[in-house]
Structure 1
Amino acid sequence: MSLLLDTQALLWFLLDDPRLSGNAQAIIVANEVAIFVSPASIWEIAIKISLGKYALPAPFAPFWGEQLQTNDFSLLPISVFHAARVVDLPFHHRDPFDRLIIAQSLVEGMPVVSSDDTFDRYGVERVW
Structure 2
Amino acid sequence: MRFLIDTHTFLWFVNDSSQLSDTARFILESEVDLWISSASLWEIAIKVSVKKLTLPQPFDLFITNQLELNEIETLYPSILHLNSLSELTFHHRDPFDRLIIAQAIVENVPIISTDSWFDTYAIQRIW
Q: Which category describes the TM-score, using the shorter chain as reference length?
A: over 0.9
Question: Aligned partners of 1:77, 1:86: CA distance in 2, in Å?
Answer: 13
Pairwise CA RMSD: 0.9
Output the TM-score relative to the length of structure 1.
0.95
* CA deviation after TM superposition for structure 1 residue 107, in Å: 0.4
Q: Deviations over 1:31-86 (max 9, x none)?
A: 2x100011100000110111111111111101111111100111112111111111
* CA deviation after TM superposition for structure 1 residue 117, in Å: 1.2
1:25 corresponds to which letter in structure 2?
R
Q: What does residue range 1-128 of structure 1 map to in structure 2 within 5 Å? A: 1-31=1-31, 33-128=32-127
Query: What secondary structure does 2:53 align onto?
Result: coil
Output the TM-score relative to the length of structure 2.
0.96
Task: Name the count of aligned residue pairs.
Answer: 127
* CA deviation after TM superposition for structure 1 residue 15, in Å: 1.8
Of 84-93 and 105-114, deviating more is 84-93
Aligned-residue identity in percent: 47
For structure 2, the residue ranges without an aligned partner over 5 or more in a row are none
For structure 1, the residue ranges without an aligned partner over 5 or more in a row are none
- Structure 1 stretches of 4+ with a deviation exceeding 6 A read none
* CA deviation after TM superposition for structure 1 residue 18, in Å: 1.4
Question: Aligned partners of 1:47, 1:116: CA distance in 2, in Å?
Answer: 19
